[in-house]
């Protein structure tokens, strides 16, 4: 098991928005220039916004960028009833500053020395911390196999899709399977159905490796369903790491 990296949030610091990039119709990447210490792949930061009247809203966002990247990348999904995500989508501009603290998290992390093989399973915007792991793995040129299984509603809503396809084409140790629940598949190896136990069984059997660790990130319902299915498929519960999101953003 990986030792804890961070057990308590650091102090709040100012961070400048360097640029904002559209990823999907509902997700943007916000690139921050910060003085925070380098993160470990899988960690997150707290973000705090303060209104002119003093009202504050705070949310946690996973880090998408690789450790050591010049800018910290947060991929933020727009939630219409949220307090924080609409600000980044509708109001924030390059040059604006926000408050951040972190990095935070010690269990849902991966470092090159941790080895593998590893399985990454994402639901929707749950891809974000797993993308940091993929980028960290790629940058380290780690000689271990990685399998990413990514479920989204449509092909267009697969965040970081093009980068993942490039990584898959470049490195034979990286497996990437997508399944879309409300749209057709675009590659022969993909699926257009819900990520259930039978789909997981087939994909893992075809991969043909026993994972050292499994990382699952997504909504509460998604994580519970996937983790339970894996246990039923005789994946040891002790190697399954989960990160969940829910509530308002």
Is the Cβ–Cβ distance between 32 and 92 less than 8 Å? no
What is the reported pLDDT for 248? 45
CA angle 126, 128, 130 (to 5 degrees): 85
Tokens of 135: 């980028």
pLDDT band, very low/low/confident/very high, at 18 (cuts 50, 70, 90): very high
Is the Cβ–Cβ distance between 61 and 76 less than 8 Å? yes
Nearest by Cα to 50 from 19, 6, 96, 93: 96
Instruction: Spell out the alpha helix ranges (H) of the chain.
Output: 85-86, 127-140, 161-170, 197-207, 220-232
pLDDT band, very low/low/confident/very high, at 195 (cuts 50, 70, 90): very high
Q: Is 34 helix (H, G, I), strand (E, B) or coil?
A: coil
What is the reported pLDDT for 141? 84
Give the whole-angstrom CA distance, residue 153 versus residue 141: 31
Give the whole-angstrom CA distance, residue 185 versus residue 77: 22
pLDDT digits (tens, 9 = 90+) for 155-179: 999 999 999 999 999 999 999 999 9
Task: Compute, in degrees rounded to 10, the torsion defined by CA atoms 239, 245, 246, 249.
Answer: 170
Pairing of strands 240-245, 213-219: parallel
Structural domains in the chain plus CATH codes: 13-104 (2.40.30.10), 112-245 (3.40.50.80)
Is the Cβ–Cβ distance between 33 and 91 less than 8 Å? no
Give yes or no for residue 5 having a pLDDT over 90: no
pLDDT band, very low/low/confident/very high, at 81 (cuts 50, 70, 90): confident
- Please state, in angstroms and as integers, the Cα–Cα distance from residue 183 to each residue in 87, 94, 158, 190, 225, following that order: 29, 34, 11, 12, 21
Is the Cβ–Cβ distance between 222 and 246 less than 8 Å? no
pLDDT digits (tens, 9 = 90+) for 97-155: 999 999 999 999 999 999 999 999 999 999 999 999 999 999 998 789 999 999 999 99
Query: Taking residues 6-20, what's their average pLDDT?
Result: 84
Q: What is the mean pLDDT of the chain?
A: 93
Q: Is the peptide bond before 193 cis (omega within 30 degrees of 0)?
A: no
Give yes or no for residue 20 having a pLDDT over 80: yes
Q: In this prediction, what percent of the chain has a pLDDT beyond 90?
A: 89
CA angle 91, 25, 78 (to 5 degrees): 45
| DSSP characters over 154-202 | SGGG-TTHHHHHHHHHH-TTEEEEEEESSS--SSTT-B-S---HHHHHH
pLDDT band, very low/low/confident/very high, at 246 (cuts 50, 70, 90): low
Nearest by Cα to 39 from 88, 120, 115, 101: 101
Give the whole-angstrom CA distance, residue 87 versus residue 165: 30
């Amino acid at each position: 098991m990986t030792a804890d990296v961070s057990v308590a949030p650091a102090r709040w610091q100012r961070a400048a928005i360097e640029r904002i990039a559209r990823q999907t119709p509902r997700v943007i990447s916000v690139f921050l220039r910060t003085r925070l210490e380098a993160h470990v792949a899988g960690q997150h930061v707290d973000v705090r916004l303060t209104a002119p009247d003093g009202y504050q809203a705070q949310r946690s966002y996973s880090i998408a960028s690789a450790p050591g990247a010049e800018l910290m990348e947060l991929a933020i999904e727009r939630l219409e009833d949220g307090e924080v995500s609409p600000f980044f989508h509708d109001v924030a501009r390059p040059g604006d500053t926000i408050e951040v603290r972190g990095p935070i998290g010690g269990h849902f992390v991966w470092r090159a020395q941790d080895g593998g093989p590893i399985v990454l399973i994402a639901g929707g915007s749950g891809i974000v911390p797993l993308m940091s792991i993929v980028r960290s793995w790629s940058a380290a040129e780690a000689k271990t196999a990685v399998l990413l299984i990514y479920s989204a509603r449509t092909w267009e809503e697969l965040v970081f899709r093009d980068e993942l396809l490039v990584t898959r084409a470049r490195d034979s140790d990286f497996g990437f399977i997508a399944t879309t629940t409300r749209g057709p598949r675009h590659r022969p190896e993909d699926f257009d159905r819900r990520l259930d136990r039978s789909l997981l069984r087939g994909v893992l059997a075809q991969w043909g490796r026993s994972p050292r660790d499994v990382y699952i990130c997504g909504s509460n319902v998604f994580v519970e369903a996937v983790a339970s299915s894996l246990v039923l498929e005789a994946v040891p519960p002790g190697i399954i790491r989960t990160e969940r999101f829910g509530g308002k953003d």
